[in-house]
């Protein structure tokens, strides 16, 4: 990255930290390989038609499987899901079969649905955007959305700040193959 780019990244970080977005686990499957990781970069990005965007780090195993995948599940984590968050944020599918260490059920097209997370969007990939940064955007058309109008409120989401001090399975500035 250029010196200019580095200073802009440094100046964005404190404001981004104050946003403290809720966390999700994105899971997917392609060629019989399951993958999943925690994401803080995700949001609704269309109303009509409805669209949901997720951003995967190019360093992650989930990205390398997701490039070939059609279906994704976005699991919105709450404070009861810390164990799931730790598994999917701090370990990598390059080394660990995460799905041997959690409870899940095969959903549409075999996409893994985490049994312990109630709030979920299952979507079909509509586009992939590489903006030349370290993350790639995937835009999903929702197929199934969990409906919990009486579910817990916004204060119950597990947020980026709740994982302070945790080390990600892959840092976003890693390169693959490693140099
Ligand atoms: C607070 C937090 C937020 C994260 N946000 C993202 C994200 O938005 N996108 C992403 O691809 N990885 C994100 N990660 C990193 C992955 O969850 C992590 O590197 C994971 O171990 C990758 O697993 P994988 O190699 O099996 O895909 C985040 C990690 C943490 C701790």
114-143 pLDDT tens trace: 999 999 999 999 999 999 999 999 999 999
64-101 pLDDT tens trace: 999 999 999 999 999 999 999 999 999 999 999 999 99
Q: Which residue has the tokens 């946003």?
A: 19
Q: Within 10 Å of residue 76's Cβ, how many Cβ atoms?
A: 19
Answer whether 67 contacts ligand 1 (Cβ < 6 A): no
DSSP per-residue letters across 84-150: HHHHHHHS-TTT--GGGSS-EEE-GGG-EEETT--EEEEEEEEEEEE-SSSEEEEEEEEEEE---TT
Question: pLDDT tier at 3 (50, 70, 90 boundaries)?
Answer: low
Answer whether 93 contacts ligand 1 (Cβ < 6 A): yes
Higher pLDDT, 17 or 127: 127
Answer whether 34 contacts ligand 1 (Cβ < 6 A): no
28-70 pLDDT tens trace: 999 999 999 999 999 999 999 999 999 999 999 999 999 999 9
Burial (Cβ within 10 Å: 0-12, 13-18, ≥19) of residue 7 = exposed
27 bridge partner residues: 36, 73
Q: How far is the CA of 164 from the centre of ligand 1 (A)?
A: 13
Task: Check residue 147 and give its pLDDT.
Answer: 84
Answer whether 20 contacts ligand 1 (Cβ < 6 A): no
Cα 6 to Cα 3, 9, 55, 170, 171, distances in angstroms: 5, 5, 20, 20, 16
Q: How far is the CA of 59 from the centre of ligand 1 (A)?
A: 9
Higher pLDDT, 122 or 179: 122
Q: Which DSSP symbol is given to 169?
A: S
Task: State if pTM tops 0.85.
Answer: yes
Answer whether 114 contacts ligand 1 (Cβ < 6 A): no
Rounded to an integer, what distance in angstroms lies between the CA atom of residue 145 and that of residue 34? 21
Ligand 1: residue of 13, 53, 168, 178 to mutate (most ligand atoms within 8 A of CB) is 168
Question: pLDDT tier at 178 (50, 70, 90 boundaries)?
Answer: low
């Amino acid at each position: 990255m250029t010196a200019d780019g580095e200073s802009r990244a440094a100046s964005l970080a404190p404001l981004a930290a104050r946003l403290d977005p809720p966390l999700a686990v994105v899971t997917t499957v392609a060629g019989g390989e399951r993958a999943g990781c925690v994401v803080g970069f995700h949001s609704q990005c269309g109303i009509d038609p409805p669209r949901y965007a997720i951003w995967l780090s190019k360093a992650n195993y989930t990205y390398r499987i997701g490039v070939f995948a059609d279906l994704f599940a976005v699991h919105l984590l709450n404070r009861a899901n810390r164990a799931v968050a730790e598994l999917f944020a701090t370990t990598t599918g390059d080394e660990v079969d995460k799905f041997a260490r959690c409870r899940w059920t095969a959903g549409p097209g075999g996409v893994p649905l985490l049994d312990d997370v109630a709030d979920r969007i299952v979507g079909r990939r509509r586009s992939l955007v590489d903006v030349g940064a370290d993350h790639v955007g995937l835009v999903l058309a929702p197929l199934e959305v969990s409906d919990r109008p009486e579910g817990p409120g916004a204060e119950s989401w597990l947020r980026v700040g709740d994982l302070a001090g945790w080390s990600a399975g892959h840092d976003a500035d890693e390169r693959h193959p490693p140099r």
